[in-house]
Amino acid sequence: MTLRVALVGGPMYDHLYEVFAPGEVEVVVHADHPTLNRRVAELLGAGERLDVIATHAKYAPSQAQWLRPLDDLLAADAIAALAPRAVDLCRFEGTLRCVPRLIDVRILWARASHGADAVDTWAALAASDLVVGFPGRESGLFGTFFELVVGAGGRLFDEEGRPDVAMAQAEWAIALLCDLAARAPGDLPQWHYDEVDAALLEGRVDAAGAWPGAWEQIRPAALAGELVPHPYPAGAERRVTYSGCHAWAIPRTCGDLPGAVELVQRLIGADAQAVDARGGSICAHREALASVVPGSDVDRQRLDITRAMIDTAMITYPPLPRFPEVEDAGWAAINAALRGRLSPADAAGAIRTAAVAVV
């Protein structure tokens, strides 16, 4: 039986899909993650058959009602081969709702002509004349805001996952994003992840954060020789990077459970995970990641920096079923501030109101 699948799309992810055999899958959805989430919710909410879906650890709690628990479906040794921290991020209420494909953390890429001091902190970036790129919408924008707030010593949720928006840090973070956007290309509020990478590689910005999978585009680019990897900028209190795990899940509407289990186990196995790793991603399979040989000094630097950020700087959201609603309201308010339609204070207030309303 051909398996019906929903896949996250984009240059950072599409290289893996070459592992599918001809006729093995019917791709029902292939889109950026926000679009993927919306379409999957529509299909699963209507009871449509989907056998395997791409998801993310932060979104799995909001999809939990539709997802099959995986603890008793997947082989224990297949799960044991994956990074334990990544597996833990994929649990919700003690149950494995998805299984990690790769670990995402951002590092900073900047023109070699700009020294490390100029890009080491958000304060240094703000004080410089560097043109800094960042996502201007959706998850990437809200994630950047989250990094700034936490790096400045604030928080959005308390230890119990209840809303606790640090208003001073939130307003400061939005004001900083507005200042950076004001000297960036005018279309930044429309940018998603891929547009940020493109702006960096086209020389439209001097520096930008990038996910590991962007290496596949950076490596052959004409400007690659001018770009240097750096740790993600530090805030006044901490150096943090908004992180998480892209993952695979099996919906309850699956029509071929044995086939879906076999496919997911292959996708998290060493061979498929090595394809992701060779494309630049930090795959969850420990042996597959360890087998990657850096192709250059820059490649070695970016891997060392990325691993250090995973060890010391990862932050992620609490597992909240209604988190996507907070994220949607939050990025919309920050985007309005970038466009001059809301003040930073009003945008921060809108985020707090949304968090209180849905959590």
Domain boundaries, the chain: 3-103+244-290, 107-242+314-358
Q: How far is CA 177 from the centre of its chain?
A: 19
The CA-atom distances, in angstroms, between 317 and each of 108, 129, 192, 312 are 21, 32, 20, 16
Residue 204 CA to residue 249 CA, distance in Å, equals 37
* Tokens 């945008």 belong to residue: 347
Position 359 scores a pLDDT of 62
Amino acid present at 101: R
> Do the domains 107-242+314-358 and 3-103+244-290 match in fold?
yes
- The pLDDT, as a whole number, for residue 266 is 97
CA–CA dist 204, 187 (Å, integer): 11
Would you state the structure tokens that stand for residue 249, as one six-digit string? 């899940």
Q: Are 238 and 315 within 8 A, CB to CB?
A: no
pTM above 0.85, yes or no: yes
Q: How many CB atoms lie within 10 A of CB 223?
A: 13
Query: Can you tell me the distance from the alpha carbon of 286 to that of 119, in angstroms, rounded to the nearest whole number?
Result: 31
The structure tokens 């993650």 sit at: 33
Q: Across the 359 residues of the chain, what is the mean pLDDT of every consecutive 10-residue run?
A: 94 92 96 92 96 94 94 96 93 94 94 84 94 95 96 90 89 98 97 94 95 92 92 96 94 98 97 93 94 92 93 87 88 97 97 84
Answer whether CATH 3.40.190.10 is correct for domain 3-103+244-290: yes
Place of tokens 């991603």: 281
Per the CB < 8 A criterion, the answer to whether 85 and 315 are in contact is no
Task: Name the residue with tokens 């039986």.
Answer: 1
- Structure tokens that stand for 152 in this block: 């400045």
CATH class of the region 107-242+314-358: alpha beta
